Chain A
Amino acid sequence: MMREELKIRVVKGPDGVEFEVDPLRDYFCEAPPASHPPAYAKIVEDLFNWARSHSLWILGFGTGCGAIEMRPLMTPRFDAYRYGIAWRPTPRQANLLVISGYLSVKTLKRAIRAYEQMQNPKYVVGLGSCTINGGMYWDSYNTIKRLDDYMPVDLYITGCMPRPEALLQGFEDLKKLIRAGKAEGANQYAEKFEWYKANQKQVIHDWDMPDYNW
């Protein structure tokens, strides 16, 4: 069932001219993501990766219980800003998506949209048992059990829930992965795009959005 606002409709512009709008084609990009080749020389790519590792911007989007731990982390108590990690309010300005716990199918849909709207290069960190194997929601009718089936995860942080210190350690590890050129999630997503979409559509039954929407 297509949502009302996504249906093709005729709109009247301010100048009185009527025209047809197909929101799925006109408002969103239809092209699938493409993988981004490394720079022409390894030393340059290494330099890029070094720079990327120092530029982590987290999308302020919380799911599950783990989001609670991000509050002390982004404020003076644990102060992640010391490590060059900052939070942004919109996917356009962020490159690190922290999935902070269980994802219901409904939230998964929003998380996918948020992920796809982020600019490359981008990273995903899964927080807590729920993202790894379902955690204590393993028998829930409404939560997914392994995040990496639906989006490319660079790093998992175990625990239920992991403390802020564990997150800080995780971010440091992520930086190492980025510097080693091993955090290629965005490219992996582009290369296995069909596989990810198939998995996503297997659980999201009311798929009423474009396949790729940034």
Chain B
Amino acid sequence: MMRALHDRLNALFPLGELTEQRPDLAFLTVPREHLRSIILHLRDLEGFSHLVLLTAVDWLEEGNFQLTYLLSNRGKAVDLGLRVMIPRDGASMDSIHDIWPTAATYQRELREMFGIQFPDSPGVNDDFILEGWIDMPPYRRDFDTKAFSAKTFKEREGRMTTDPEQHMKQQLYPDGA
């Protein structure tokens, strides 16, 4: 099923690798400039009528963001994820809100949490979850959550951490049996 779809697409577009996760779920890397036409093709001719989600992965070491557009063919109950790699520096991507209006919400989230720009996406620069955020986008992997928390939020003295294994051993077998 997924292979056949891949072959049909391959005849039309240059495609990257296909990862078959399950019989009804596969991921496909596609070149950025063909994303829009592939999505339109899948939506209009292959029955992938539903955008399940749009999310990002930060490949810090490679200097890329991976965008995953998960599409669903509800009639055949199969999902296909389209992966697009974009450079991390000055990350920006074309909006697909005109294909699925819900995409605007995902894009707004990605702009806030990863700092990926989606010019023309409606309301993309409005606050989404964070309010008055002042640091770098927090889902970027080079954002140090712990250091940020330590410098921003005051701590209470006396908090301690124990290793669960050691602690339970001590509790259950105090004389080291």
Give residues in A with beta carbon < 8 Å to B: 105-106, 109, 132-134, 138-146, 149, 199, 203-207
> Do A132 and B149 contact each other (CB < 8 Å), given the known contacts A142-B138, A206-B132?
no
Please name 16 pairs of A and B residues whose Cβ atoms are closer than 8 Å in the assembled complex, sorted by A.
A106-B129, A106-B130, A106-B131, A133-B155, A133-B158, A139-B150, A140-B145, A141-B135, A141-B138, A141-B143, A142-B130, A143-B153, A145-B153, A145-B155, A149-B154, A205-B132
A-B contact count (CB 8 A): 56
- Bound: A207/B129 CA distance, A: 16
- Bound: A145/B148 CA distance, A: 13
Is the pair A144, B132 in contact by a Cβ cutoff of 8 Å?
no
Q: Identify whether the interface residues of A are mostly helix, strand, loop, or mixed.
A: loop
> Do A141 and B156 contact each other (CB < 8 Å), given the known contacts A106-B130, A106-B131, A205-B133?
no
- Bound: A133/B131 CA distance, A: 23
Is the C-beta of B177 less than 8 angstroms from some C-beta in chain A? no
- Bound: A105/B133 CA distance, A: 10
- Bound: A133/B154 CA distance, A: 9
Is the C-beta of B159 less than 8 angstroms from some C-beta in chain A? yes
Q: Identify whether the interface residues of B are mostly helix, strand, loop, or mixed.
A: loop
Is the C-beta of B11 less than 8 angstroms from some C-beta in chain A? no
Residue of B nearest to A132 (CB): B156
Complex interface: chain B residues within 8 A of A106 (CB): 129-131
- The one of A144, A205, A206 in contact with B153, judged by C-beta atoms closer than 8 angstroms, is A144
- Bound: A133/B138 CA distance, A: 22
> B101: shortest Cβ distance to chain A, in Å?
24
Is the C-beta of B22 less than 8 angstroms from some C-beta in chain A? no
The 5 closest A-B pairs by CB, nearest first: A206-B132, A205-B132, A139-B146, A133-B156, A145-B153
- Bound: A107/B59 CA distance, A: 31
Is the pair B130, A145 in contact by a Cβ cutoff of 8 Å?
no
Is the pair A141, B145 in contact by a Cβ cutoff of 8 Å?
yes
- Bound: A138/B159 CA distance, A: 10
Is the pair B153, A134 in contact by a Cβ cutoff of 8 Å?
yes
